[in-house]
Every structure is written in structure tokens, then in C-alpha cells.
A and B are shown apart, each in its own frame.
Chain A
Amino acid sequence: MVENRPLANILTHAVLILGVFFLCFPVWMALVASTHGPEAMARAPIPLWFGDQGLANYREILSGGVAHAGGVPVGKMMLNSLLMALGITFGKIAVSLLAAFAIVYFRFPFRMGFFWMIFVTLMLPVEVRILPTYDVMVKLGMLNTWSGLIVPLIASATATFLFRQFFLTIPDELVEAARIDRAGPMRFFWDILLPLSRTNIAAIFIILFIYGWNQYLWPLIITNDEDLYTVVMGISRMVNAGESRPVWHLIMATSVLAMLPPVLVVLAMQRLFVKGLVETEK
């Protein structure tokens, strides 16, 4: 559609620019705040431009941690978050690929029943099943462990469903050709299904990594061991640090750091993602 209606043009652009502003302003504020000293954020005109404390702020949180928040170094929390997010992402992708593989390519009793069960759990967010899951973790003695942090979040109905939909688009003849070429089920999975799913895996990786990175409630419940603190938890603890005033400049610096890994993942995966899209084969 090529239309030339200046008024509509101006209006749509105005709406879009407004949207961009609302999205970007908080990020901008976080960046700005992380470069000022402790008092700047508490004074009336909040600064809108960078200060000169940036280097010092970042050095402080990366080396010592924020004393008011248990003093866990931010670097350590970032690493914890990364491990948890990667664990959840890889776990989810592995489990959901296999689950979708089973549902699409094997005839077993109650196959559709299982599919619908998985599908229904799509509608149950973590928060709904958090108490029973916590109970299970307690009984298994998995509180304050990495596996307790990661394993319960690994099942993913969404990813299973998406992979199933993708597998269904792969022509039957390809499966049959592979059977004739003496590829057993797992070999078919590795040699054909997995390479063909590359683009989809990259896309889902982004979504799941961000999901994992942003987990808050579950780590909060399952750990009270500082060695397992994640950065999202850390930020929240800094904000609610008892009697003392929140140290906004440090909190914002931590937030900026916490935003980096998801951004990096998107940038890295996007390249693969776009390449995959351009190379679309079949």
C-alpha cells in the first residue's frame, strides 16, 4: 500500500515516537543515574545528563558489592544469573526438543492425551504452581542448590508447542528418505531434525534466556544462600535495604549491568537468526 496522506503520516509518527520515548526513557534514566554521586538522585531536579562518577560507581559495585545489601559482589551475582539463565535455557531447549520429537514422530498410547496435558500447562505460570513445587523441592532436599534453582523451571510447554508446530511442517518424505538411508530415530534427530531446527532454536534461545535471566520469584524462594544470589534478587535487596536510604546511583549501575547479557544474547543470536532466515531451505 502506498498512500500519501500527510496528516495520517504525522499522526502515526507521533504515536511511534511517543512509544519509543516511553520505552527508552527509563533506560536513559538508569544510564544517567549510574554516573552520578549518591546525592544527585535525592535532589529535586533529577539530572538528565551524565555525571562524572560513572567509573567510580561501577568500580565500587564490581569490587565490593553494596554493603547495605549483604555485600555480595555484583560480579558474583551476574555470574550466578548467567549460570541459572543458561541452565534454564539449555535445559528447556533440550527437554522441549525431545518432547516435541516424541509427540510428532512416535506413536505411543495416549500420545494426544500427553500433548494436551502439556498444552494445558501453557496456561499455568510458575506462580500458580510455586507452592507445590517448593514443597517437592523441600522434600527432595534441593533448597539452596543449583539444581533446585534450575530444574523446576526447565519444563517448557511453550517451547514444546513451538517445536511441535515446526516439526509438523517438515515433509514426511524427508523422514521416509532417512528411514531408507538407515537412520534410526536418534540419528534422524541429530543429523536432520536438529540442523533444520537451527533458526527456531536460535529464536527460542533468545526468549528463554531472557525469561531465565529475569527470574525473580523462584530464586527468591528457593535460596537464602548468598552464594546463589542472582542479580535480579540483588537489585531488589538493595532497594529494600532496611532503614538506610536506597543508594540509587549504585542500584542503577547494577541495573545497567544486569541489562547487558540479554542485550548481548540478542545481538549474538540475531546474526544466526537472520542468517537462518536468509538461508531458509526446503
Chain B
Amino acid sequence: MAHLSLKSLTKVYPGNVTAVEAADLDVADGEFVVLVGPSGCGKSTMLRMIAGLERITSGTLKIDDKVVNDVEPGHRNIAMVFQNYALYPHMSVRRNMAYGLKNEGKPKAEIEARINEAAQMLRLTEYLDRKPRQLSGGQRQRVAMGRAIVRQPAVFLFDEPLSNLDAKLRTELRAELKALHDRLRGTFVYVTHDQVEAMSLADRIVVMNAGRIEQIGAPIALYSRPETRFVAEFIGSPAMNFVEGVLGEGGAVLVSEGREVLQFDRPIGLAGSGFVVGLRPEHMKPSKGGFARLRFRRVFDEQLGADTLIHGTLDSGPTRVILRVDGALHLPDAERLEVGVAREHLHLFDPKTGLRIDT
């Protein structure tokens, strides 16, 4: 197994499209790192540079302290799983898995042994002689994983491997992937645009935005201390609510367009012109108490069983707000609600730079 190091890695496509800009990242041996971000932010490009499928414009890429910028993909000691499986359609499952090993010149007996082991691990033994087209989507993706596993690569790369599967299968395979990682202790780099997948799989998440790395951290760290407004909005579902305004007199009230939008128990001890206050739906309690309070105008409820999402706006203006409350909670049928949030659940951001402001 191996560690991976990216130093100011940059990719500029023809036509001057900068897909990845000066990315720095270190992935430790055996770590599960997930690259996440909205569509077009450069996740796939970054992964493909690691794989060697895309030329690196500038910067250095090291696998186990060896610079591999100009090494062919087959010689980088990596394996990749693609979104659309990319299995060789004319080869049986067994031959699909064997192909890479055969090209490496491994002896037949060893190839056979590795395939059997991987097939057992992935519950594919009975499908070994089938062609890919005779398998379901989930099975195909497991074959693709098997093809990666038998190579025993230093780094496993995944580009949205679960995106073509239905929701139930996705959850199943997610658990399987996690178990696989625990078992193989391999170095995994995994791309997804699904933040739930990222949260549940990753040791560390890399959030990307428009070609740049916004923040790197453990899932819980990103959730509880997002460094930028972008990360705050991207991580967590439903997304964080944002209330924008300037501090009013006394510093204990947030004002927007002349109307009070948020009241604090005491001054939050910050000078400055404007703020964006981030409030997670699950941290907003429909009660009179709480460090920060706002008045909420309820538009409709969405009952999900365990939780209920209450959609609405600020009473003072059009800013949309979502509350997430316990499904068993019975709220008065009122249109207006008082909502409170605890001190430690407030996130403050600079409205211009989007950076977190510590209080």
C-alpha cells in the first residue's frame, strides 16, 4: 500500500479551460479520501491526473515518494473503477479480472488464486463465467471492483462508481465498499458528487469548487466547522440556511434592509459591517429560547417519518429557511413560529470572501 502526494497540481485543457488549479493534497497509506463537489468542479480531472489518463499541466504527483507525472497508467500501480463499469464486453468475468494480471506477466496459478479470492470477497464466484451483459448493474460494478482488487494496486481510484445504480443498491454497495476498505486497508481516492456518500465513506473529505480545493477535513469537522460558506452549504442535507445582514445597535441584532432578522441574547462581540449567519436546519428549534432567535413564516411541512421538514421564509423577508424537527413533535398549527439556535451552532461568514469568521 502506498501514500499519495499532490503538489500544486494543475490541469489546463486546450482552450484555456482551467479544470484544476494548484491542488495540494496528501493521502496517507490506507486512507479513504473522497473528492466531492458540484458538477464540473474538476473532481474527475483530478482523479484522472492521478490515474495518468490526463496529462498534468504543472505540479508534481508522487506515489510512494516517486514522481509519476510521466509514468503510463499501467505502470503507476493504480487501479480504477469507472462510473459506467468499462468492463470488456467480449470477455467473461474471469477474463475481465485476469486481463491486467496477464499483461503484467503473472503466472497462471497466481492469477487464478487472486481471482478466486476476489470473487469470494465480492460474492461473484457463481458469475465468473458469465459475460458482463448477463449481469445486473450492481454485479457489473462489483466485477469492476474485482478487476481493481486482483491487481493489488498501491492506490484505488473510483470515479462515481455508484452513480448508475438505484438508491437501494447504492446504499448496499456503499456499505460493501466501506467493508472492502476495512479489509484491504488500501489507499482509496473516491470521487462523488453525493455528499451523503462522501460523509459515510470518507476518512477525509476534499471539497472542491470551480477547480480549487475549498477544504480538506474529516467528515464531522467539515460538518461542524466549515471553513467557507461554500463548504457549509455543500455539506449537510437539507443544506444550511443563510441569513444575511449587518449588526444593529448594541451589536445584538442582525438587520437587513432596515428590518430585524435575527436577535442575539447578548452582543456577539464582533465589529464589522455585514455578516452571513449560517444555521443548520436540524439545529433550529421551534421554541422561544436559544441564543439566536428569529421569526419564521411557515409555508408547508414535508413529513419524512423520522423527521419533518418545515419549509418557509424569514418573517421579515423572502430569505428561504428550512427547519428539520423530530417527526413525532407536534407543532401548533400556527403560521408564524419562534425559532431558536444555540450559540455553538452558529456559523458566521464574511459575505464578500465567504470565509468563516470565528467568534
Contact = CB atoms under 8 A, between A and B. Distances in A.
Interface of A: 171, 173-174, 176-183, 187, 191-192, 195-196, 198, 281-282
Interface of B: 51-53, 72-75, 78-80, 82, 84, 86-90, 99-100, 103-104, 131-133, 147, 151
A192 B73 CA distance: 18
B103 A196 contact: no
B82 A173 contact: yes
Given A176-B86, A281-B89, 15 more contacts: A171-B86, A174-B86, A176-B53, A177-B86, A177-B88, A177-B147, A179-B74, A180-B53, A180-B73, A180-B79, A181-B151, A187-B103, A191-B88, A191-B99, A281-B90
| Most chain A beta carbons < 10 A, residue from B79, B88, B151 | B88
Contacts of A179: 52-53, 72-74
B76 to A, nearest CB: 8
Nearest to B151: A181
Contacts of B104: 182
Contact of A176 (B73, B100, B103, B131): B73
B99 to A, nearest CB: 5
B133 A281 contact: yes
A181 B90 contact: no
| Most chain A beta carbons < 10 A, residue from B100, B104, B132 | B100
7 contacts: A173-B82, A174-B86, A179-B74, A181-B103, A182-B104, A192-B90, A195-B90
Nearest to A198: B90
A46 B65 CA distance: 90
A187 B99 CA distance: 11
Contacts of B132: 281
Contact of B100 (A173, A180, A192, A198): A180
B84 A173 contact: yes
A199 to B, nearest CB: 11
A181 B89 contact: no
A181 B79 CA distance: 8
B330 to A, nearest CB: 52
A107 B80 CA distance: 24
Contact of A183 (B53, B74, B133): B74
Contacts of B53: 176, 179-180
B291 to A, nearest CB: 51
B74 A181 contact: yes
Contacts of A174: 86, 88
| Most chain A beta carbons < 10 A, residue from B80, B87, B89, B103 | B89
A182 B90 contact: no
A182 B74 contact: yes
Contact of A171 (B73, B78, B79, B84): B84
| Most chain B beta carbons < 10 A, residue from A171, A180, A187 | A180
A178 B80 CA distance: 11
Contacts of A180: 51-53, 73-74, 78-80, 100
